[in-house]
Amino acid sequence: MLHIKCPHCGMRSQNEFSYGGDATVKRPELNKEVIDQEWDNFVYNRVSPRGKHLELWQHLSGCRQWIKVERDTATHEIFNTYKANEEIA
Amino acid sequence: MQKYSIFSLVKNALTGHQNWDLAWKDPNPKEEYDVVIIGGGGHGLATAYYLAKEHQITKVAIIEKGWIGGGNVGRNTTIIRSNYMHDENGLFSEFGMDLWRKMSQDLNYNVMFSPRGIINLAHSDAQMNAYARRGNSMRLNGIDAVLLNREEVKELIPMADFSDNVRFPIFGGLMQPSAGTARHDAVAWGYARQADSMGVDIIQNCEVTGFDVSAGKIKGIRTSRGNIKAKKVGLCVAGSTNILAEKLNMTLPIETHLLQACVSEPVKPVLDKVVTFGAGHFYISQSDKGEMVMGGDLDGYNSYAQRGNLPTLQHVLSEGIAMMPFLSKLKMLRTWGGIMDMSMDGSPIIDKTHIDGLYLNCGWCYGGFKATPASGWTFAHTIAQDRVHELNAGYSLNRFSTGHLIDEKGLGTKTWIS
């Protein structure tokens, strides 16, 4: 089982969380002409790397906050967790 | 090639089984091939076989990082069916059902195809209506479908929970009598043996490290065992598609996820159908050895680990116990995981790409095994003719941009949608 450190609540079991996918995907900017390719990339296309992956999780059975988790997709090791609005260097 | 028959069996039994030919050779890669198929799983082997058989293209290599039968073709729950509502999926899978029925004869290899029937259970009136609609769509496409009421289901699977106080009572079900199971390893070995006998080089323990592309055309591949020139290259690497796509600077509508399966200790024959739970995601059948073979949801997060996590297994098995309470008395024998290409609409992709001579076969989600022959057949056609066959025309790569999604269950990477 994964143990995820919620930046608001501390270390909790995976059972309390729900997965939200790649956190690096950016919605095309508002008030700007958007070409189809940009929408495709936002809605459908994913890199899905083997290795380090920054992803969204929601602490659904806890504080209900969305958080970012830096996790290895091959070993499942979790390196770091961040608040959703936290800038990541 | 040595033909397998009762006579060859007797002859070899009398000589102590010392003189069987190797089922396939272990060649070194040649400098150049007409077609290189990357991925020696079921789909890759089938593609090579149909390239040789249907299109007389035999200067073909299969490049496999591991070994034949070590990936998803040896990790699935062996279910074969064509109970789809949408035309693209229904016609494609039913074409595959014909190939399954003939496969043991065709390959001279017993794949133990067992058309025992699949029952999708319904747990509400609304679900019965939805199944009636799906069953009618199937029959319009020439696929057998029978809508069963509660009593009829009880007759077929009396061990399911038909008591009064259950959370998800069984209202009935949709059965495809011609669906079933097959021995998955035999499928890989049968295709490998025939492909090899027609001149295909099966190259194992050879990892693809890069591609040679110039002026928008594929020229060859780079591997851990040297460079190989190729006029055409087919990607058939479910679970690793994203890794190879990255080497080609392609981003695909696919995420790589982990799917688990498990078997119980073997018990006497109790279940002669494939059964799926309609109020969640759980399916079960009994193997010839007596093990209950079970599976269900994805682990739910991107993963390349070929091993699973317990919370999902517990969730899936609690659905199983809700459906068939006797399962709680069984001991678990083995659990394992495989990595899947989860496409964004839950349907596969068999198509050409923007690179001339590079073809893509991926995105099989939960349903790769049953598609093995049809996928190989249509992919071979797509590669040999350099155009898609009408059977895989719907499985295009650009359907995500054009809006022609095939949302059979609306179930792709997002397990929570179910």
Going B298 to B300 to B303 to B307, the CA torsion angle's sign is negative
Instruction: Establish if A41 touches chain B: CB-CB under 8 angstroms.
Output: yes
Task: Evaluate whether residue A37 is within a structural domain.
Answer: no
Task: Evaluate whether residue A32 is within a structural domain.
Answer: no
Question: Tokens 């509502």 appear where?
Answer: B85
What integer pLDDT is reported at residue B418 of this predicted model? Answer: 43
Task: Evaluate whether residue A39 is within a structural domain.
Answer: no
Instruction: Establish if B208 touches chain A: CB-CB under 8 angstroms.
Output: no
Of B255, B309, B344, which has the smallest distance from its Cβ to A1's Cβ?
A: B309
What is the tally of structural domains in chain A?
1
Query: Is B344 within 8 Å of A44 when comparing Cβ atoms?
Result: yes
What integer pLDDT is reported at residue B187 of this predicted model? Answer: 98
Residue A7, domain CATH? 3.30.2270.10
Give the domain range for residue A89.
Answer: 1-25+52-89
Query: What residues in B contact A48, CB-CB < 8 Å?
Result: 242, 254-256, 302
Question: What whole-number percentage of chain B has pLDDT above 90?
Answer: 95
Q: What is the CA radius of gyration of chain A?
A: 14
What integer pLDDT is reported at residue B417 of this predicted model? Answer: 52
Question: What whole-number percentage of chain A has pLDDT above 90?
Answer: 90
Q: Which two tokens stand for residue B156?
A: 């077929």
- pLDDT 10s digits, B317-358: 999 999 999 999 999 999 999 999 999 999 999 999 999 999
What integer pLDDT is reported at residue B409 of this predicted model? Answer: 76
Query: Is B305 within 8 Å of A76 when comparing Cβ atoms?
Result: yes
What integer pLDDT is reported at residue B408 of this predicted model? Answer: 85
Task: Evaluate whether residue A89 is within a structural domain.
Answer: yes
What integer pLDDT is reported at residue B382 of this predicted model? Answer: 98
* Most confidently modeled range among A24-28, A32-36, B29-33: B29-33
Q: Average model confidence (pLDDT) for chain B?
A: 95
Instruction: Give the residue from B237, B241, B248, B304 with the most A CB atoms within 10 Å of its CB, the best one to mutate.
Output: B304
- pLDDT 10s digits, B320-331: 999 999 999 999
SS3 A80: strand
Average of pLDDT values for B66-93?
95
Question: Tokens 């996918």 appear where?
Answer: A21
Task: Evaluate whether residue A33 is within a structural domain.
Answer: no
Instruction: Establish if B310 touches chain A: CB-CB under 8 angstroms.
Output: yes
Task: Kindly provide the ipTM of the predicted complex, given to two decimals.
Answer: 0.95
Question: Tokens 């009572």 appear where?
Answer: B169
- The DSSP code for B130 is H
Of A18, A46, A71, which has the smallest distance from its Cβ to B251's Cβ?
A: A46
Task: Evaluate whether residue A40 is within a structural domain.
Answer: no
Average of pLDDT values for A30-58?
93
- pLDDT 10s digits, A47-87: 999 999 999 999 999 999 999 999 999 999 999 999 999 98
- pLDDT 10s digits, B228-253: 999 999 999 999 999 999 999 999 99
Task: Evaluate whether residue A41 is within a structural domain.
Answer: no
Instruction: Establish if B404 touches chain A: CB-CB under 8 angstroms.
Output: no
What integer pLDDT is reported at residue B416 of this predicted model? Answer: 53
Task: Evaluate whether residue A38 is within a structural domain.
Answer: no
Instruction: Establish if A14 touches chain B: CB-CB under 8 angstroms.
Output: yes
In terms of Cα–Cα distance, which of B157, B161, B134, B158 is closest to B145?
Answer: B134
What integer pLDDT is reported at residue B174 of this predicted model? Answer: 98
Phi, psi at B283, each rounded to 5°: -140, 155
Instruction: Establish if A46 touches chain B: CB-CB under 8 angstroms.
Output: yes
Of A37, A48, A75, which has the smallest distance from its Cβ to B302's Cβ?
A: A48
- How far is B346 from chain A, CA to nearest CA, in Å? 12
